[in-house]
């Protein structure tokens, strides 16, 4: 069993060790199976002692040769994947791509727009001058919680790659703290927005409850934006 003292390090070593363990298990299994087959062959035809000795010798030699060939082929295949594919070998240690970093910037701009136009974006009116009501669903959309096409959708995965970037180590601690603040704010904002959406229909609820939780959601959006701003400054994107 392999352990790592630092998150994200020695990933390839772990995978290689895992493959080695698998091959060893297969090797043992093949040995047991071949021995069983040889024994059954010998028992089934009741050969003489000399014939049995020869059969076991020949079959044992063939079985060992076949088993070695299969094992070697399997090892070669895995080695070609792990060792011969640079993209596979270093995928776990690569930082965010330019497109992923741009998602952070676009998401930040969208959150800024949401806060500047919060009442407008969270108000839905029926067509032809119908009744208007407040709706917290846009909050979840701007926070990347509604669609896979939203810039901030699962942005935490991008944050996790930051540790592999070549940036000032003094900035990393602040960035990591900001990502934790982001996760907390997004979770609470999502919860408040969800409660707000059904506040009017809950027992004892009404429009006041909708507005109450909508405002609570907005407070968390402000905190999330602040956290994202810290991350961007640490990455020199702002």
**Treating both helix axes as pointing N-terminal to C-terminal, what angle do 169-197 and 207-234 enclose, rounded to 10 degrees?**
170
Sign of the C-alpha dihedral computed for residues 208, 210, 211 and 216 taken in this order? positive
Query: Which pLDDT score, from 0 to 100, does residue 63 have?
Result: 52
178, containing H or E segment: helix 169-197
Number of neighbouring beta carbons within 10 Å of residue 63:
18
Residue 169 pLDDT class (50, 70, 90 cuts): confident
Give the C-alpha separation, 44 to 58, whole Å: 17
Residue 40 pLDDT class (50, 70, 90 cuts): very low
Closest residue by Cα to residue 99 from 141, 142, 146, 161: 161
Give the model confidence (pLDDT) of 95-136 as tens digits: 999 999 999 999 999 999 999 999 999 999 877 767 888 999
Q: Is the pTM of this model over 0.85?
A: no
The highest-confidence range among 25-39, 45-59, 221-235, by mean pLDDT, is 221-235
């Amino acid at each position: 069993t392999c352990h790592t003292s630092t998150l994200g390090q020695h990933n390839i070593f772990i995978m290689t060790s895992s493959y080695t363990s698998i091959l060893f298990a297969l090797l043992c299994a093949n040995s047991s199976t071949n021995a069983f087959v040889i024994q059954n062959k010998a028992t089934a035809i009741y050969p003489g002692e000399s014939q049995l000795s020869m059969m076991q010798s020949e079959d044992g030699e063939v079985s060992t040769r076949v088993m070695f060939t299969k094992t070697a082929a399997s090892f070669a295949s895995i080695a070609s994947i792990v060792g011969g594919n640079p993209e596979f070998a270093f995928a776990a240690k690569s930082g965010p791509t330019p497109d992923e970093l741009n998602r952070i910037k676009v998401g930040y701009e969208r959150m800024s727009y949401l806060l500047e136009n919060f009442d407008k974006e969270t108000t839905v009116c029926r067509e032809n001058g119908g009744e208007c009501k407040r709706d917290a669903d846009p909050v979840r959309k701007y926070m990347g919680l509604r669609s896979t096409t939203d810039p901030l959708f699962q942005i935490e995965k991008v944050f996790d790659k930051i540790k592999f970037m070549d940036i000032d180590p003094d900035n990393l601690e602040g960035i990591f703290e900001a990502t934790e603040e982001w996760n907390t704010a997004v979770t609470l904002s999502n919860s408040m927005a969800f409660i707000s959406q059904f506040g009017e229909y809950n027992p004892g609820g009404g429009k006041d409850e909708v507005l109450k939780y909508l405002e609570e959601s907005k407070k968390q959006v402000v905190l999330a934006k602040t956290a994202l701003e810290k991350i961007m400054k640490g990455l020199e994107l702002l």
